[in-house]
Amino acid sequence: MLRTYAPCGQTPVLRVPLTRDHLSVISGITPSGQLLTGMQERAYKGADAVCFLKHLQRHLDGKLLVIWDGLPAHHEKAVKQFLTEARGGVCVEQLPGYAPDLNPDEGVWNYLKHVELRNVAGHNLGELRYLLRLAIARLRAKPDIICSFFKHYGY
C-alpha cells in the first residue's frame, strides 16, 4: 500500500508495474540494539529458518533466546531437529497467535514500513531489495530506536 499525494478529486497515477514478485525477510533484534536480517525471493521454510538461526549463532555470543510468532516454518521438522541438536544453546518461546503486539520485532517492520520506506515503490525486485537494504542499514545505525521496541512492547 502506498500513500500518494494528488489534488483532491484526482486519482493519483503510480508509474510502477504491479507484479506478484515479493521479498521475504526474516529478522532478529537484541536488547543491545543489534538488527540481524535475512532476505530471499521466496517464502521462508523450515530449512531457511534453521539457516537464520545458525546465522544468529555465528554473530551473537552465548545462548540464544528466540521469541517467535506462529509462522508455519517455525514448526517444521528441520527446525525441531536443529533445536534438539542445539542441546539448549537455542531456547525458543512461542508468542501466542492472538498477541502480535508482544513481539518487539514487529516494531522493526513498522518502523521500516512507515518511516524508512514511506512512499517508496520499487520499479522491480532488484530495486526494492536495494532500497530495503539501505533502509535496514539506516535503522542499524540507530540502536537506540531498536532498543526502544523492547520497551514499547513491554520487555
The answer to whether residue 5 sits within a structural domain is no
The answer to whether residue 56 sits within a structural domain is yes
CATH number for the domain harbouring residue 110 = 3.30.420.10
Number of other residues whose CB lies within 10 A of the CB of residue 19 = 8
113-118: list long-range contacts, CB under 8 Å, 24+ apart.
Answer: 118/3
pLDDT at 41 over 90: yes
The answer to whether residue 10 sits within a structural domain is no
State the total domains in the chain. Answer: 1
The answer to whether residue 8 sits within a structural domain is no
Each residue's pLDDT tens digit, 95-149: 887 777 888 999 999 999 999 999 888 888 999 999 999 999 999 999 999 999 9
Query: Which structural domain, as residue segments, surrounds residue 94?
Result: 24-152
Q: Is residue 33 left, alpha or beta, with left meaning phi > 0 and alpha meaning psi from -120 to 50?
A: left
Closest-CA residue to 27 (of 142, 122, 139, 128): 139
The answer to whether residue 13 sits within a structural domain is no
Write down the pLDDT at residue 9: 82
The answer to whether residue 12 sits within a structural domain is no
Tell me the backbone φ, ψ of residue 103, rounded to 5 degrees.
-95, 105
Write down the pLDDT at residue 23: 92
Each residue's pLDDT tens digit, 53-84: 999 999 999 999 998 888 889 999 999 999 99
The answer to whether residue 84 sits within a structural domain is yes
Write down the pLDDT at residue 123: 83
